[in-house]
Chains A and B, each alone.
Chain A
Amino acid sequence: MIEIKKTYKNYVNGKYVRSESGKTFTVDLKDGVYEIPLSSRKDIRDAVVSSKTGFKQWSKTTPFTRMQILYRLSEMIEGNKDSYIELLKSHGVSAQSAKKDVELSIQNLVWFAGLADKWEQLTGNLNPVSGEYFNISHQNPIGVVFSLNKDELSLNLLLQSILPPLTVGCSVISLSDNASVLALKFAEDINNSDLPSGVLNMMSGNFELIHEDVSKHVEINLISIHSSINDEILKNIEENASLSVKRVKHLPSNEGLSSILPYLETKTVWHPKGT
């Protein structure tokens, strides 16, 4: 019997799409060679349009619903645990590490799902201003986040780069290079998870080829870089970012509450008290 091989595509605006450039790059796995999208400048632009729509919807989705959707994503992964382990193994990851990685991923996802309706109680507060005023600081999600995934073959690390912005209501464009097949497979679970279209966009490609377009795009509000990149490229990204005071986070913390802080804007509202 002939085995049929899956075609991996980008996942943008809730749809599986090839790169508009028609270009691909090759990933050599144990079960065969895969041609996956080499995302172009135009693909990034499309993803930003999608993310803006996604952000509008996701940021006004109630925390309670966001929590349930993220939890449902963990249900999806749990159901497909074996296929993730197989895929990691075909990348050369040991069976034991692969299993541990998927279990950690689910653990992490459940942790963040449960944070979706609580973080604001940890990051916001009333301010004891002197005078008869009600004064409260709370946080809004920063908007459209471009996230460069690590090169390690790990579902858990991929999730760690995506979940902090997602949990607080940002939309995310996640680009993977070395871990692309894994990321594009994960897109299938996103598609089944009730996450509104455009909230999480998964793309594959070579960041060096598109970093200029990403860093100059004024509608990307924050760039988070989770892999170690070449100093010159980092400098160039940060220079371009300065044109629109774009936030750039290089190797941000993945730990606890500090993981979500980069993706928040603090808003403080004052109102007088009186009769």
Chain B
Amino acid sequence: MVEWNYSESIESSSIVDIKNKYQNYIGGDFVSPLSKKYLDTISPSTEETLTKIPLSNKSDVDKAVQAAQEGFKVWSKTSPNDRAKYLFKLARLIQERSREFAVLESIDGGKPIKESRDFDLPQVAANFFYFAGWADKLDISWGTKALKPYGVVGQIIPWNFPLLMLAWKVAPALATGNAVVLKPAETTSLTALHFAELCEIAGIPPGVVNIISGDGSTGSELVNHSGINKIAFTGSTQVGKLIQKSLAGKDVGLTLELGGKAANIVYEDAAIDQAVEGVVNGIFFNQGHVCCAGSRLLLQESIQEEFIRKLEKRMQSLRVGNPLDKNTDIGAINSKEQLNKISSMVDEGVSDGGELFQIECELPGNGFWFKPSLFTNVQPSYNIAREEIFGPVLTTLTFRTPDEAIEIANNTEYGLSAGIWTEKGSKILWTADRLEAGVVWANTFNKFDPSSPFGGYKESGFGREGGRQGLLSYLKAES
């Protein structure tokens, strides 16, 4: 085996100034939580405590919602063209300070700097740019003037793409004239709290953007607050169902971006080397903490052996380690809790009878790490083939015919994304038509763009984020 040795190339963290303690951003002011409680936030790659963030309670949520109600009054009277200008301004500010945010994202969340720097941050800015331009074109977006903003939108986002999920939520909500109360995930709140500073610098009117940190209890207070007109949630299917249930019978809008178990289908006539590359990107991007990750590899039987051999070889070249090292491919698992979940699901896969391949590599002593893993010899009934693992673990199933591939791919409650690998155009279109998934990547995977709608079928949720269709998540039809 070829040894791939790299010299460390560490991104300096001096560009970020992490404060000793953070405050909520409510009504245009940075305020201490009324709860008087804080949570420690740690770096998952070192387990070092970075700082304290507010653990907001019911009173904090109440204060934020009231501020948002005032903010909405101002924002809905702000001219659409001015709303556009504010968003363009925000987009520019993000670009200017993008390295600082990228480094902070990697420190706080554990993702490799090459991803936070080259993927997350450029996408964050791009989302604000894209939706800025819609703010003054809503009347022509769907050929009707009957679409109106909800008012106050509560937004709850996950820890896998902290600032990008903020951008996916905040940019379209503001463009359509809503005011927001956003709650970032408890393990990754820092970039959102830094983003609040940008809102202040951009001069966004007080109350239009409110950011409060906290845990699940904070999120629950937000969902159940009577002043909320719409909830937008990204996270697990389990929590999404609870939110849908809490809102039952209430006149509150809801969009849900939930879990996935995407099939990545490789036909025998695929360009194999490209497919191997795509499959690796599909599952190991962001440590596999991706709701649309290609976590179920569906291989046509005739190429199984060759493909697995090439895949294992390619996996072995992945570099796991310090997220701030520019060579790192796989960073830290986001939290101890998530690491335990991944480990126990992998153990279960082994005891069910799955054959496990893990790459040989040294893992750092501190922090949360998991070796890139591949399961073969898996039955569709195993949990590792059905449930979302949300980690760097790929499960392989095989098929003989295209019809069988479709059947296996759709045999899940999820329907977020899917991949197709073949050099035959008609087979791509035939397959794409039959897959029950909101995003289908053909001969590519994990591509995102603010103009491209994202969101699921079935239990992967409802509503779209991004694109013209994404506007509808923040506008309601009024006759």
Contacts and interface: CB of A to CB of B under 8 A. Distances in A.
Interface of A: 122-123, 125, 127-131, 133, 135, 137, 140, 231-232, 234-239, 241-245, 247, 253, 255-258, 261, 265-272
Interface string B441-479: 111100101011111011111101001110010000101
- How many chain B residues sit at the interface, stated as a range, is 35 or more
B245 A267 contact: no
Contacts of A253: 146, 477, 479
From B452, B460, B468, name the one whose CB has the most chain A CB atoms within 10 angstroms. Answer: B452
What are the nearest 7 A-B pairs in CB distance?
A235-B249, A238-B248, A242-B244, A129-B449, A242-B245, A239-B248, A258-B477
Contact of B459 (A140, A245, A256): A245
A162 B467 CA distance: 29
A270 B248 contact: no
Contacts of B237: 245
A174 to B, nearest CB: 22
Interface of B: 126, 142-144, 146-147, 237, 240-242, 244-245, 247-249, 256, 258, 413, 428, 432, 435, 437-444, 447, 449, 451-455, 457-462, 464, 467-469, 472, 477, 479
Contacts of A122: 143
B453 A268 contact: yes
Contact of A245 (B258, B439, B444, B454): B258
Given A242-B242, A245-B256, A245-B459, 20 more contacts: A127-B451, A127-B453, A128-B451, A129-B452, A130-B126, A131-B447, A137-B453, A231-B249, A235-B249, A239-B248, A243-B241, A244-B413, A256-B144, A261-B477, A265-B438, A266-B464, A266-B469, A267-B437, A268-B454, A269-B441
A242 B238 CA distance: 10
Contacts of A272: 443-444
B452 A135 contact: yes
Given A245-B237, A257-B142, A238 B457 contact: no
Contacts of B256: 245
Nearest to B258: A245
Given A130-B126, A244-B413, A261-B472, A268 B452 contact: yes
B244 A255 contact: no
Nearest to B429: A269
Contacts, number: 124
Contacts of B438: 265-268
Contact of B245 (A129, A232, A239, A271): A239
Contacts of B461: 245
A164 B237 CA distance: 29
A275 to B, nearest CB: 13
A239 B250 CA distance: 11
A201 B67 CA distance: 49
B249 A234 contact: yes
A271 B442 contact: yes
A258 B146 contact: yes
B247 A238 contact: yes
A237 B443 CA distance: 41
B452 to A, nearest CB: 5
B271 to A, nearest CB: 11
A228 B477 CA distance: 18
A130 B428 contact: no
B449 A131 contact: yes
Contact of B447 (A133, A140, A239): A133
